[in-house]
Amino acid sequence: MYPPTGVYWIETASPAAFPRLAGDISVDVAVIGGGLVGAIAARLIKDQGLRVALVEARSVGQEVTGKSTAKITSQHNLVYTRLRNRFGMDGARSYAEANEAGLRKILALAADHQLAADIEIKAAYTYTLLEEHVGSIEEEVQLARELGLPATLAMETGLPFAARAAMRWIDQAQFHPVKFVAGLAATLPGEGSHVFEQSRVLDWDSSRVVTAKGAIKAGHVVMATQLPLGQTGAYYARNYPHMHPVIAGQADPGRVPEGMYISVEQPRHSLRSHRTADGRPFLIFTGPSYKPGHADEARKAFAEIEGFARDHFGVQASYRWTNEDYTPMDGRPFIGWSSRQDGLLVATGFDAWGISNGAAAAMIICDLLTGRENPWADFFDARRLDVAHGAKQFVKGNAAVAAELVGGHLASTPRDAEALSPGEGAVLKINGEKMAVFRDETGQLHSLAAACSHLGCLLGWNEFDRTWDCPCHGSRFGLDGEVIHGPATEPLKTGVTG
């Protein structure tokens, strides 16, 4: 069992403070969700002379964006070969141009608004230790160069072990994600525009969003909540969630490699550096993916990335947290007008590359709202129904979802609440009901209904963040049952207290 450590990026940023929505207001565009996509979309929309309200359920920048490794790069492992094989050169080119533009947009926004977001220009590396992937890296480099991307084969990586092959893209960047999003959000209020925090949207349509304490009437509504809320566009059934372990720890200055890195092979290793305000170097790592709510897989994934960090870089984790993103069924994000509800704009399915993709999404959304042509909008069109590519993997994923809906998985140990140690949680059967039970440090038990408030899947315990996570579509809930994120908008029902 691990004591919670908090999230490195959240702990090293000064909290932004925006008011709650109280009462009713009217704007041109309401943006639900104050992550990277929402904040950039709101800024671009305001730059078009429109009044915008950014409405955040919790604190701006502190959800998936603020828990990422925050590399700003158009190098997404071997994505271009995959896209070219599925969608031809035009598809790969749209993705490349959109992501390059997204990367440059983040840098431009930081410069224009003088955001203190610890931006550093870095090279991005994808490497392999295995002979079997050397050809794939060579193919990706050649294709990337044809697409105009700054790729070369690299002989040296700066890593403390020899790679069989690596590709190096220059002029990429990394930043402090919470400082960036909070700083950008702070430029929004005024001239009829607003930012609201602690204001969860509970109901919405194409011209209005409703929170517990107020409502916003709007000409358009953008849903920038990572996965669209509730049943919107059934995106929860066209993307599947994957969770990752993330760790950060202080590094010996002599052992900090100069670039940002990711491996081709599994178990996937990704890392980057960051310097604290007082100049101490940290390394931030993320490791192999696993299914949300599956405690055994989580433990294995943390053990794997912690071993990698320790063995190669001498880093001991002083922060541990988990983060989640969604893989779209056909391998390309869904961006633009929603599938079913005209007037709603959405952006989802970034497959753990939502920084550059997210900025591109904000640009596309702003263009669609203001009636301008956008060269990438067709490729990412969120209304597309032809998602046959990747269907095999997706069917497998949906079969697993069905299994979670029917049975779920109960904790094998402990089997009853009395056996829970302080700080431990488990899904247990109590009086015939499946309950999510947690024992706090004072010994008191807290229990909630273990059925996800989205579509009823059985939740699983996340011991690293002390949350209840849904394996089906990735909703996450706090110990108080409140939604952290996901398509769910309602808290968990409270249950019996032991």
Q: Applying CB under 6 A, which residues contact ligand FES?
A: 236, 452, 454-457, 470, 472-475, 486-488
Residue 38 interacts with which of ligand FAD, ligand FES, none, CB < 5 to 8 Å by class: ligand FAD
From the CB of 272, what's the least distance to ligand FAD, in Å? 7
- For residue 394, give both structure tokens: 């997706």
397 binds ligand FAD (CB under 6 A): no
Q: 188 vs 472, which CB is nearer to ligand FES? A: 472
Whole-angstrom distance, CA of residue 449 vs CA of residue 349: 29
Pick the binder of ligand FAD from 31, 106, 178, 224 (CB under 6 A).
224
Q: 107 vs 237, which CB is nearer to ligand FES? A: 237
From the CB of 156, what's the least distance to ligand FES, in Å? 44
Closest by Cα among 251, 241, 291 to 408: 291
From the CB of 31, what's the least distance to ligand FAD, in Å? 9
56 binds ligand FAD (CB under 6 A): yes
From the CB of 202, what's the least distance to ligand FAD, in Å? 7
Q: 272 vs 434, which CB is nearer to ligand FAD? A: 272
286 binds ligand FAD (CB under 6 A): yes
Q: Any idea which residue has 């916003």 for tokens? A: 216
From the CB of 12, what's the least distance to ligand FES, in Å? 30
179 binds ligand FAD (CB under 6 A): no
From the CB of 37, what's the least distance to ligand FAD, in Å? 4
Residue 455 interacts with which of ligand FAD, ligand FES, none, CB < 5 to 8 Å by class: ligand FES
Q: 365 vs 488, which CB is nearer to ligand FES? A: 488
Residue by residue, what is the 3-state secondary structure of the chain?
CCCCCCCHHHHCCCCCCCCCCCEEEEEEEEEECCCHHHHHHHHHHHHCCCCEEEECCCCCCCCCHHHCCCEECCCCCCHHHHHHHHHHHHHHHHHHHHHHHHHHHHHHHHHHCCCCCCCEEEEEEEEECCHHHHHHHHHHHHHHHHCCCCEEECCCCCCCCCCCEEEEEEEEEECCHHHHHHHHHCCCCECCEEEECCCCEEEEECCEEEECCEEEEEEEEEECCCCCCCCHHHHHHCEEEEEEEEEEEECCHHHCCCCEEEECCCCCCEEEEEECCCCCEEEEEECCCECCCCHHHHHHHHHHHHHHHHHHHCCCCCEEEEEEEEEECCCCCEEEECCCCCCEEEEECCCCCCCHHHHHHHHHHHHHHCCCCCCCHHHHECCCCCCCCCHHHHHHHHHHHHHHHHCCCCCCCCCCHHHCCCCCEEEEEECCEEEEEEECCCCCEEEEECECCCCCCECEEECCCCEEECCCCCCEECCCCCEEECCCCCCCCECCCC
Residue 178 interacts with which of ligand FAD, ligand FES, none, CB < 5 to 8 Å by class: none
Q: 289 vs 475, which CB is nearer to ligand FES? A: 475
Residues 184-213 as x/- pattern, contact with ligand FAD by CB under 6 A = ----------------xx------------
Residue 30 interacts with which of ligand FAD, ligand FES, none, CB < 5 to 8 Å by class: none
From the CB of 482, what's the least distance to ligand FES, in Å? 15
Residue 301 interacts with which of ligand FAD, ligand FES, none, CB < 5 to 8 Å by class: none
417 binds ligand FAD (CB under 6 A): no
Using omega within 30 degrees of 0 as the cis cutoff, is the peptide bond preceding 491 cis? Answer: no
Residue 454 interacts with which of ligand FES, ligand FAD, none, CB < 5 to 8 Å by class: ligand FES
Closest by Cα among 122, 352, 376 to 259: 122
CA dihedral sign of residues 163, 165, 170, 172: negative
| Window 252-281: residues binding ligand FAD (CB under 6 A) | none
353 binds ligand FAD (CB under 6 A): yes
34 binds ligand FAD (CB under 6 A): yes
Total residues belonging to the chain: 498
From the CB of 459, what's the least distance to ligand FES, in Å? 7
From the CB of 334, what's the least distance to ligand FAD, in Å? 11
226 binds ligand FAD (CB under 6 A): yes
Residue type, 219: G
Residue 457 interacts with which of ligand FAD, ligand FES, none, CB < 5 to 8 Å by class: ligand FES
From the CB of 28, what's the least distance to ligand FAD, in Å? 19
Taking residue 174's Cβ as centre, other Cβ atoms within 10 Å add up to: 23
102 binds ligand FAD (CB under 6 A): no
233 binds ligand FAD (CB under 6 A): no
Which residues here bind ligand FAD, judged by CB under 6 A?
32-38, 55-58, 63-65, 68-71, 200-201, 224-226, 229, 244, 246, 286, 323-325, 350, 352-356, 358, 485, 489
